[in-house]
């Protein structure tokens, strides 16, 4: 630890947390004219995984949400995917109540996708789609777009639209889906249909998308 001079006097002893990351932080003891910083580091991924394993052996292991939360964390951090797949098996198990949860099944699909098992992931999501709300399905399709899976995203947007054909959300889904496949003509058609239904705070954004499509630009 190397003391550092402060520009201003600190009358009462205090501790500042600086340069925070998932794995570390610098703690600075400050008093009078000095700051004494020291670094704390942890193996965040290892510690969090151990925390999940302990939690899943408690009463929290009897509900699907706990298994799903652990698996979703692994997806977000791209780690421990083989064990995460086992956790998704528990999350979607009828014994824990997640067999009809769109969230649980979509997490399983994301783990499979991360493991390079795209065909299995697609099959899982086909099973999950009937359990999702309109917004659940729309957001899943948006995630697929983010992963550059345009054809799969379009199919999901279309399924959602066929179920809810007069909703702003699904009309915009079709616009995004067609745009992602390069069909700007049909994308423009659905964006124009969505515009009158757009919430006030979103109308300008939809109009901007329409202008982009007219110029032959992707809106995603």
> For residue 96, what is the domain's CATH number?
1.25.40.10
Residue 118 lies in a domain: yes
Looking at the fold, whether 71 and 120 belong to one and the same domain comes out as yes
- Asked whether residue 185 is domain-assigned, the answer is no
76: helix, strand or coil: helix
Q: How far apart are CA 79 and CA 170, in angstroms?
A: 33
What average pLDDT does the chain have? 94
CA gap 59, 63 in Å, rounded = 8
35 and 89 part of one domain: no
Same domain, 63 and 113: yes
Structural domains of the chain, count = 2
Domain extent at residue 122: 44-132
105 to each of 77, 123, 203, how far by Cα in Å?
19, 10, 33
pLDDT value at 126 more than 90: no
Task: Tell me whether residue 28 is in a domain.
Answer: yes
Mean pLDDT value across residues 168-178: 97
Residue 20 forms part of a structural domain = yes
Distance CA(37)–CA(213), nearest Å, equals 54
Closest CA to 36 of 15, 19, 52: 15
Q: Find the mean pLDDT for residues 177-206.
A: 96
CB atoms within 10 A of CB 61: 15
Q: Are residues 122 and 67 in the same domain?
A: yes
Q: Is residue 58 part of a domain?
A: yes
pLDDT at 200: 95
Tell me what pLDDT residue 170 has: 97
């Amino acid at each position: 630890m190397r003391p550092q001079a402060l520009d201003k006097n600190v009358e009462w002893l205090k501790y500042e947390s600086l340069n925070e990351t998932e794995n570390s932080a610098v703690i600075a003891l400050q008093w009078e004219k000095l700051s004494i910083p020291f670094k704390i580091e942890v193996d965040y991924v290892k510690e969090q995984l151990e925390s999940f394993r302990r939690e899943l052996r408690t009463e929290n292991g009897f509900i699907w949400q706990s298994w799903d939360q652990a698996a979703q964390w692994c997806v977000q951090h791209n780690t421990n995917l083989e064990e995460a797949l086992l956790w998704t098996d528990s999350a979607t198990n009828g014994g824990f109540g997640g067999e009809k949860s769109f969230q649980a099944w979509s997490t399983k699909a994301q783990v499979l996708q991360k493991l390079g098992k795209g065909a299995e992931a697609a099959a899982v999501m086909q099973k999950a789609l009937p359990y999702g709300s309109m917004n659940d399905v729309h957001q899943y399709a948006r995630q697929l777009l983010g992963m550059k899976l345009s054809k799969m995203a379009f199919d999901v947007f279309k399924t959602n639209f066929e179920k809810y054909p007069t909703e702003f959300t699904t009309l915009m889904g079709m616009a995004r889906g067609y745009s992602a496949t390069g069909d700007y003509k049909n994308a423009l058609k659905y964006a124009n249909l969505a515009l009158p239904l757009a919430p006030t705070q979103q109308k300008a954004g939809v109009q901007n998308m329409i202008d982009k499509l007219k110029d032959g630009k992707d809106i995603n």
